[in-house]
Amino acid sequence: MSNSKEFSPGEIYEPSEETRKYAWVNNERIYEMAQDYLTFWDEVAKNDVEWFEPYEDVLDDSNAPFYRWFVGGKINITHNCLDRHIKLKGDKTAIIWQGEPENEKEKITYHELYQRVCRFANALRTLGVEEEEDVVTIYMGMVPELPIAMLACARIGAIHSVVFGGFSSKALRDRINDAESKVVVTMDGYYRRGKVVETKRIVDEALENAPSVESVVVLERTGNDVNMVEGRDVWWHELEEGLPDKCECRPLDSEHTLFILYTSGTTGKPKGVLHVHGGYNVGTHITTKWVFDLKDRDIFWCTADIGWITGHSYVVYGPLSVGATVLMYEGAPDHPQPDRWWSIIEQYGVTILYTAPTAIRYFMKLGEEWPKKHDLSSLRLLGTVGETIDPKAWKWYYKHIGNERCPIVDTWWQTETGMIMITPLPGITKLKPGSATLPFPGIEVDIRDEKGYSADSGELVITNPWPAMFRTLWGEPERFAKQYWRSNGGLIYYTGDGARKDENGYYWIIGRIDEVLKVSGHRLGSAEIEGALISHEAVSEAAVVGKPHEIKGETPVAFVVLKTGYEPSVELEEDLKKHVRNEIGAIAVPEGIYFVEQLPKTRSGKIMRRILLAIEKGEEVGDITTLEDVTVVEKIKEVMMARK
Ligand code: WTA
């Protein structure tokens, strides 16, 4: 452990006696004990999850970076999420669901969840979903049937691909086609800010050009009119009619694919990050238990949408594997009033809240009078994820939500890592606002400079494999092997995040160093938004940068070169925004679009986004000698001055 120096007094928040005493992990020696990481993960895998057949080896690294964990073992994550619990606590609530309309709610026990998953698994089988490589795309709002559909796929060894409900029909279509999905599971609609989002209509548009899809299962939720295509579309409740609520849990190989989840990178095409049953179960289970110090009586609320990795790992698989009660809320945080979240916490006695800094900044702006209206004393632990939390927001969260009683776990991880990687452990870690603190036991991280040497600041890397790591990119093994891994006395995983390490060995994440944006905690690629803009008839070239934003963290801003024959106008700007909304979704729409004559490019033709960002922020542009045409900087500045 690198806790070399004494902590300097000041901004340190120590675990309370109470937290330390009762926490799952209350001995700092855990880090030392986990230094032999294979023994550590072996212990966790044996003690914390159940296997149908034991594994022979903890890790096979003979074909790195295509690592295999718990080699030869047989497992099924749904056994650990369901079957295992119903023996002892079948009547315990697994999911508390709160719809956006206040009177719509539901509590589902572990036993009921088990039955509903089994029944839907049987339903999927009637559609021919069975084989190992079958991908079921799930496009739904936050309703219990979403995790039910995921678990049903996993139970029969099919692969799910959940697409965030905020993505457009075009984005959905691309993901369906890339995965060659046979079945789509969706719903008529769900509520968002009092309005119905017409999910099925979006699916219909997506399927206009998605030849692999044979069946669409439609859950009835809002009762809005939908168009059912004969021979293709079937209602969820009709499909399930008469089917048994038992379904054998298929023992699967540890390395059997559990899901793919598309995420953004530096190219226009989203990557299908692939996770497997065994290692992902082990990694999400133990991090849920230790990082959130989850106990049987807790009510755990992770506010992430299940369409993102945080929802996969910490709404669905981790907490259910641990046997927790999770809360799911369908709607907007501020509907019908800005205190909706706080009223939910009070109503259900939520004990652990896990959310994103963007939400905290938003509530901070609305003012503490909203949380003050509610009794939040049930809370005992808070968490954040998705982007760096600035100390001001951290302290606001600590004071106004946690009442200066609740530790905050600032957790750093990624879609690719599958599980939390850098985080405090609430019983032992001294907190510093703004730092994700230390790697989870068994995880080794470092910071490397451009030459690959260890440094105090540079790119964050992970130097040993971990169980919940992604195994490949769907259909793109070369991209997987080439893009993330570098060999430097062993294979090292490059995260794409800039970070620094302080005198206590604490990590401070600075943000992405590649062309990936975090907009309200959501991950988007510059190249994707640029691709969407270029697909518009008027656009010849486009560059997108992330501009700092008070609440969203970052917001996309676009620089566009028009084709000859097109003139800049307010109407065209609006039309381009609409186009991006249709191509990707509302989250990707640029806040501003600047029409420029030329983009700053190097002589080899690479767009220098760094320069655009500096101009946008009103900062010095720095070295521009590598530009093909240096006058472009002044010209772009003029365009921007004229607009401001
Ligand atoms: C960022 C989300 C600072 C980071 C789980 C990472 C964070 C990207 C933190 C992954 C944190 C996540 N502090 N930055 N605690 N957590 N990030 O794949 O840039 O949607 O690379 O996974 O989010 O985003 P993704």
For residue 241, how far is its CA from the centre of ligand 1 (angstroms)?
A: 42
Other Cβ atoms closer than 10 A to 574:
11
- Close Cβ partners of 227 (under 8 Å, ≥ 6 residues apart): 200, 201, 204
Task: State residue 1's pLDDT score.
Answer: 45
Q: Long-range contacts for 12-17 (Cβ within 8 Å, ≥24 apart)?
A: 12/430, 12/431, 12/432, 13/398, 13/407, 13/408, 13/430, 13/431, 13/432, 13/433, 14/430, 14/431, 15/407, 15/426, 15/427, 15/428, 15/429, 15/430, 16/405, 16/407
Which DSSP string corresponds to 320-384?
A: HHHT-EEEEE-S-TTSSSTTHHHHHHHHHT--EEEE-HHHHHHHHHH-THHHHTS--TT--EEEE
Q: Which residue has the tokens 């004559």?
A: 597
Find the mean pLDDT for residues 291-298. Answer: 98
pLDDT digits (tens, 9 = 90+) for 360-406: 999 999 999 999 999 999 999 999 999 999 999 999 999 999 999 99
- Contacts for 241 with CB less than 8 Å, ≥ 6 apart: none
Token pair in block for residue 243? 């089917």
Angle at 2 between CA 405 and CA 426, to 5 degrees: 20
**Tens digits of per-residue pLDDT, 579-632?**
999 999 999 999 999 999 999 999 988 999 999 999 999 899 988 888 999 999
Strand 507-512, strand 516-519: pairing: unpaired
Burial grade of 64 (CB within 10 A; 0-12, 13-18, 19 or more): middle
Contact predicate 592/625, CB 8 Å? no
Q: Which residue's CA lies nearest to atom 25 of ligand 1?
A: 414
Q: Which phi and psi angles does 381 have, rounded to 5°?
A: -155, 140
Spacing, Cα 523 to ligand 1 middle (Å)? 8
pLDDT digits (tens, 9 = 90+) for 172-205: 999 999 999 999 999 999 999 999 999 999 999 9
Whole-number pLDDT of residue 4:
57
**Average pLDDT, integer, range 335-353:** 98
CB atoms < 10 A from the CB of 601, how many? 18
> How many angstroms does the Cα of residue 90 sit away from the middle of ligand 1?
35
Q: How confident is the model at residue 644 (pLDDT cuts 50, 70, 90)?
A: confident
Transcribe 274-302 into DSSP letters: EEEHHHHHHHHHHHHHHHTT--TT-EEEE
* Ligand 1 neighbourhood includes 414 CB (under 6 angstroms): yes
CA distance 76 to 608: 47
pLDDT digits (tens, 9 = 90+) for 220-273: 999 999 999 999 999 999 999 999 999 999 999 999 999 999 999 988 889 999
Angle between helices 145-155 and 110-126 (to 10 degrees): 60
Beta bridge partners of 195: 192
Distance 622 CA to ligand 1 centre (A): 28
Average pLDDT (93-116) is 98
- Residue 10 — very low, low, confident or very high, per pLDDT cuts 50/70/90? confident
> Closest Cα partner for 241 from 360, 126, 145?
126
Between the CA of 154 and the centroid of ligand 1 the distance, in Å, is: 26
| Tokens 């890592």 sit on residue | 417
Average confidence (pLDDT) over 293-310: 98
Residue with tokens 């749904």: 78
Q: What is the pLDDT of residue 490?
A: 85
Report the nearest atom of ligand 1 relative to the CA of 511.
19
Supply the mean pLDDT for the chain: 96
Closest C-alpha to ligand 1, atom 5: 414
pLDDT at residue 2 is higher than 60: no
Please name the residue that has the structure tokens 């799910």: 160
From the annotation, which residues make up the binding site for ATP?
410-415, 497, 512, 523
- The token pair at 331 is 């709607």
309 lines ligand 1 (CB under 6 A): yes
Residues 189, 181 contacting (CB under 8 angstroms): no
Which residue has 């409740």 as its token pair?
237
- Nearest ligand 1 atom to the CA of 410 is 15
Give the per-residue pLDDT at 641.
Answer: 86
CA distance linking residue 260 with residue 180, whole number of Å: 12
Tell whether ligand 1 has an atom less than 6 A from the beta carbon of residue 313. no
Beta-carbon contacts of 46 under 8 Å, excluding residues fewer than 6 positions away, are none
